[in-house]
Amino acid sequence: MADDFIGTSSSGKQGDKTTLLAEAKRDNNTYTTAVSSDMTVRMFGPGVAVVTGVAKETGKTKAGKTFTHSYRFTDTWMERNGEWQCVAAHAMALPKKK
């Protein structure tokens, strides 16, 4: 993740790298699976790529309640000094299947 990363969460909150790392540390959920699928990578020049796909997470909350969350995501990656870094990300919660 780039130091100048910017992201928008599925709840609409915008944050930077520091915000994302702090939220990950506060997360009390226990994850059983985290899988990305339906991914497409599009190159925009030699050092820029946009990845779209679906992420699905399952697990339990701190209170023991099971959950399944699915998101459609778009991540923008740049090659900098020979390393690929995520510079921007957006996630949208997908509707629960009935």
Residue 40, domain CATH: 3.10.450.50
pLDDT of the residue at 97: 74
| Domain membership of residue 73 as a residue range | 6-93
Whether 55 maps to a domain, the answer reads yes
| pTM for the whole structure | 0.88
pLDDT of the residue at 11: 87
Question: Mind listing the pLDDT tens digit of every residue in the chain (98 residues)?
Answer: 999 999 999 888 999 999 999 998 999 999 999 999 999 999 999 999 999 999 999 999 999 999 999 999 999 999 999 999 999 999 999 998 76
Whether 88 maps to a domain, the answer reads yes
Contact criterion met (CB below 8 Å) for 20 and 10: no
Burial string for 61-92 (b: 16+ CB within 10 Å, else e) reads eeeeeeeebbbebebbbbeeeeeeebbbbbbe
pLDDT of the residue at 96: 82
| Total domains present in the chain | 1
